[in-house]
Amino acid sequence: MAQNFLDLALTPAVLAAQEHAYGRAAVPGQPGDRDALGPEEVAFVTARDSFYMATVSETGWPYVQHRGGPPGFVKVLGPNEIAFADLRGNRQLISTGNLAGNDRVALILVDYPRRARLKILGHARAVDRGVDPELDARFDVDRPGGRVERILRIDVVAFDWNCPQNITPRWTKSEVEAVVAPLRARIAELEGLSRG
Ligand SMILES: Cc1cc2nc3c(=O)[nH]c(=O)nc-3n(C[C@H](O)[C@H](O)[C@H](O)COP(=O)(O)O)c2cc1C
């Protein structure tokens, strides 16, 4: 079971906020071993087609960026490691630059139809394309379009499942099309019958 997330998140200032608001604060444990991703987390992460990742700048500003790709674009390399390809973008390299000064990242991954979300804390490092050919091979770096410049490897330290509250269910175009296809076929069939 994941233990580490709250142990890391419940800092003295957070506990003080709880005390101020509710008159009492949670009792955090000592951050311990890293939380290992289990089968549920692995299935969830590898099914996602997008997520958000926050980094921290050397001036202390948080920075959040959206990442997207076909399901499977986030790979689980081990119980404590996930990775994804960083494509050539607008050449700002804000996330990559931030990681050079502070390797901490926070991710949020959402399954909108199921109204489930997973938060991950970890340490990330950028591995330039060409440095680790075996790693590159897992990411199809030579595919046409969207040139892969580097792989971002994230050492997962902690994760936490959020409650479904306030997640509006949304479906992607392909998910809607899969549901609508038999209805379209049935309509076409009925139209054929009524004409015949
Ligand atoms: C033409 C173009 C296509 C992109 N395609 C993707 C993409 O498919 N998935 C993705 O996560 N980011 C995509 N990006 C963005 C970059 O890969 C990357 O997220 C961005 O450069 C990160 O920069 P930052 O850390 O400075 O915010 C694309 C950017 C451009 C300009």
Residue 95's pLDDT band, with cuts at 50, 70 and 90, is very high
The full DSSP string for the chain is: ---HHHHHH--HHHHHHHHHHHS---------SPPPP-HHHHHHHHH-SEEEEEEE-TTS-EEEEEEE-STT-SEEEETTEEEEEEE--SS--HHHHHHHH--EEEEEEEETTTTEEEEEEEEEEEEETTS-HHHHHHTTTTSSSS-EEEEEEEEEEEEEEEP-TT------HHHHHHHHHHHHHHHHHHHHHHH-
pLDDT confidence band for 140 (50 / 70 / 90) = confident
Q: What are phi and psi of 174, to 5 degrees?
A: -70, -35
Confidence of residue 144 (pLDDT cuts 50, 70, 90): low
Average pLDDT over residues 137-166: 88
Handedness of CA 49, 75, 164, 119 (dihedral sign): negative
Residue 162 CB less than 6 A away from ligand 1: no
pTM of the model: 0.90
Residue 165 confidence (pLDDT):
86
Instruction: Determine if ligand 1 sits within 6 Å of the CB of residue 148.
Output: no
Mean of the pLDDT values across residues 11-36? 91
Q: Is residue 79 predicted with pLDDT exceeding 60? A: yes
Please give the pLDDT value at position 1.
Answer: 54
Nearest CA to ligand 1 atom 5: 146
Check: CB of residue 76 under 8 Å from CB of residue 44. Answer: no
- CB-ligand 1 contact for 89 (6 Å cutoff): yes
Q: Where is pLDDT greater, at 126 or 33? A: 126
Distance from C-alpha of 144 to C-alpha of 86, rounded to nearest angstrom: 15
Q: Which of 67, 75, 150 to mutate to test the pocket of ligand 1 (most atoms within 8 A of CB)?
A: 67
Is the pLDDT assigned to residue 114 strictly greater than 70?
yes
Question: 107 pairs with which residues across the strands?
Answer: 53, 120
d(CA 89, CA 94) in angstroms, rounded, equals 11
- Encoding tokens for residue 154? 């994230």
Task: Please report, for the chain, the start and end positions of each structural domain, with discontinuous segments joined by +.
Answer: 1-32, 34-169
CATH architecture type of domain 34-169: Roll (2.30)
Task: Give mean pLDDT, residues 80-107.
Answer: 95
Residue 183, both tokens = 């209805």
* Residue 33: per-residue pLDDT: 81
Angle 158-161-165 from CA coordinates, rounded to 5°: 145
Give yes or no for residue 95 CB within 6 A of ligand 1. Answer: yes
User: For the chain, what is the mean pLDDT?
Assistant: 93
Q: Which of 116-120, 122-126, 144-148 has the lowest mean pLDDT?
A: 144-148
Q: How far apart are alpha carbons 75 and 42 in whole angstroms?
A: 9
**Burial class of residue 75, CB neighbours in 10 A (0-12, 13-18, 19+):** middle
Position 3 scores a pLDDT of 78
Residue-wise pLDDT tens digits, 33-44: 888 999 999 999
Work out the angle at residue 45's Cα, subtended by the Cα atoms of residues 137 and 120, and round it to the nearest 5 degrees.
110
